[in-house]
Amino acid sequence: GAGVSQTPSNKVTEKGKYVELRCDPISGHTALYWYRQSLGQGPEFLIYFQGTGAADDSGLPNDRFFAVRPEGSVSTLKIQRTERGDSAVYLCASSSSEGTDTQYFGPGTRLTVL
Amino acid sequence: LAKTTQPISMDSYEGQEVNITCSHNNIATNDYITWYQQFPSQGPRFIIQGYKTKVTNEVASLFIPADRKSSTLSLPRVSLSDTAVYYCLVVPNYGGATNKLIFGTGTLLAVQP
């Protein structure tokens, strides 16, 4: 079946602009996660959704970052007033529920802020 | 969440068995040990998960001693396509947990011909 998909695969923007990154989880997966990965580092947790609600947003670095999942499926990560330090690969993962269920990752969106 | 320590890099040759050891001295009773693999330009991919003793699947084996303070991922007869970064994670299993994954820097395994 289809895995987690993310669009766009690459996004180049200018400092100060607004960007939206989209994640389509595996159908039926109730849990959705966003991570950010900088070069040479492991992924870093940003936010977790269970259904439509953000159950844990403790990883969001500041209030320029926001994510939604209005219908409990597709999620959008929104970044306002982008900064060069926001450049990274943004990864989305989904799992069927909480607990130790496997998280399935998408290929990521590479964001470059010029 | 338990912190993990693993080698930064390892080298191997095709056909060899590779063992990557991870230490997690502060692992809690409810924690599971999970390994992910990541190729360049891809998201991490689940390899194997275990709680104690030995777990084996079609890809790898995971050995966990009785004290659970370390674990060893064993990849049999590696090939060039096994060149990747391997992450060891400790994942809590209790109701209501976020179960966000805490990644370290992983082990870069380079397989040579």
Residue of chain A minimizing CA distance to B88: A42
Q: Which of B32, B42, B99 to mutate to test the interface with A (most CBs of A within 10 A)?
A: B99
Between strands A88-95 and A65-68, the pairing is: unpaired
State which CATH number among 2.60.40.10, 3.40.50.1370, 2.40.50.140, 2.60.40.420 fits the domain covering B9-95: 2.60.40.10
End-to-end CA distance of chain B: 38
A14-38 per-residue burial string, b: 16 or more CB within 10 A, e: under 16: eeeeebebebbbbeebbbbbbbbbe
What integer pLDDT is reported at residue A100 of this predicted model? 63
The answer on pLDDT for A14 being more than 60 is yes
What integer pLDDT is reported at residue A102 of this predicted model? 86
Q: How many CB atoms lie within 10 A of CB B106?
A: 28
The Cα–Cα gap between B72 and B95 comes to 27
State which CATH number among 3.20.20.120, 3.90.1150.10, 3.90.79.10, 2.60.40.10 fits the domain covering A5-98: 2.60.40.10
Q: Is A100–B32 a contact, with Cβ atoms under 8 angstroms apart?
A: yes
Write down the domain spans for chain B: 9-95
B113 touches chain A (CB under 8 A): no
Q: Is B98–A55 a contact, with Cβ atoms under 8 angstroms apart?
A: yes
What integer pLDDT is reported at residue A97 of this predicted model? 72
pLDDT band at A101 (very low <50, low <70, confident <90, very high): confident
Residue numbers in B near A111 (CB within 8 A): none
pLDDT: which is higher, A88 or B91: A88
Q: How far is CA B24 from CA A43, B3, B72, B100, in A?
A: 19, 6, 11, 17
Residue B38 to chain A, least CA–CA distance (Å): 10
**Single-letter residue type at B40:** P
Between strands B84-92 and B9-13, the pairing is: unpaired
CA B73 centroid distance within chain: 5
The Cα–Cα gap between B88 and B37 comes to 9
CA nearest neighbour of A29 among A92, A95, A98: A95
What integer pLDDT is reported at residue A96 of this predicted model? 86
The answer on pLDDT for B84 being more than 60 is yes
Q: How many CB atoms lie within 10 A of CB B40?
A: 7
What integer pLDDT is reported at residue A99 of this predicted model? 59
Residue of chain A minimizing CA distance to B107: A42
Of A55, A59, A107, the CB nearest to B42: A107
